[in-house]
Amino acid sequence: IVKKYKRTVTSGTCATLESNEVSITILPALANNVISADTNPLCNGQNTQISSVGTSTGGTSTFTYTWFRSTDGGTTWGAAISGATGINYTPPANTLQNTTNTNLTFTFRRDVTSGACSTPLQSNLINIVVHPSIGGNSFATATEVYCYTRPAGNLAISAPTGGSGTYSNWVWESSTNGT
């Protein structure tokens, strides 16, 4: 929407004076800033892309994107992620590391501006859960010796930890030649 304005001034019996004309362009409000994660949850060391759902609208239709990350569920936000200015964002794998024994949640959002619409429109929040690395799952001793004529005892192995906490696909492997 473009509106034009000018002013005419009179003073008593003096001649009137018209101002120059000014055009004011009213840009449409920013809208449609929706994002989603391609993969969620992740295992430690994995990565995902956070993608735009649809196209932002409003402003001049030329958009500036800024991405932010929070480690407390979106209560506080750090500075804008350096270099993250695209419509989509793939966090570097080293920013989604989980060295704890419990799930970690990283929250992301995208702000969009356009021309004179400089007050950012914030996207929805995306929580990416990162499971800890799988640990445990090791034998108590590396070598067991049993007499051929006597049944072997139970092998002591620690329970796995980390991951999603649900373990399946137990695969036991054996070797007769030591490899």
User: pLDDT per position in the chain (179 positions), as tens?
Assistant: 889 999 999 998 888 999 999 999 999 999 999 999 988 889 888 889 999 999 999 999 999 999 999 999 999 999 999 999 999 999 987 888 888 888 999 999 999 999 999 999 999 999 999 998 888 877 777 777 777 777 777 777 777 888 887 877 777 787 888 77
CB atoms within 10 A of CB 131: 18
Look-up of token digits 């209560």: 75
Q: What pLDDT sits at residue 95? A: 82
- Reading the block at residue 164, the tokens are 């999603």
pTM: 0.76
Task: Please provide residue 96's backbone torsions phi and psi, each rounded to the nearest 5 degrees.
Answer: -115, 35
Q: What pLDDT sits at residue 40? A: 84
- Reading the block at residue 159, the tokens are 């329970």
Q: What pLDDT sits at residue 98? A: 87
Give the helix/strand (H/E) hosting 22. Answer: strand 22-25
Q: Is the peptide bond before 28 cis (omega within 30 degrees of 0)?
A: no
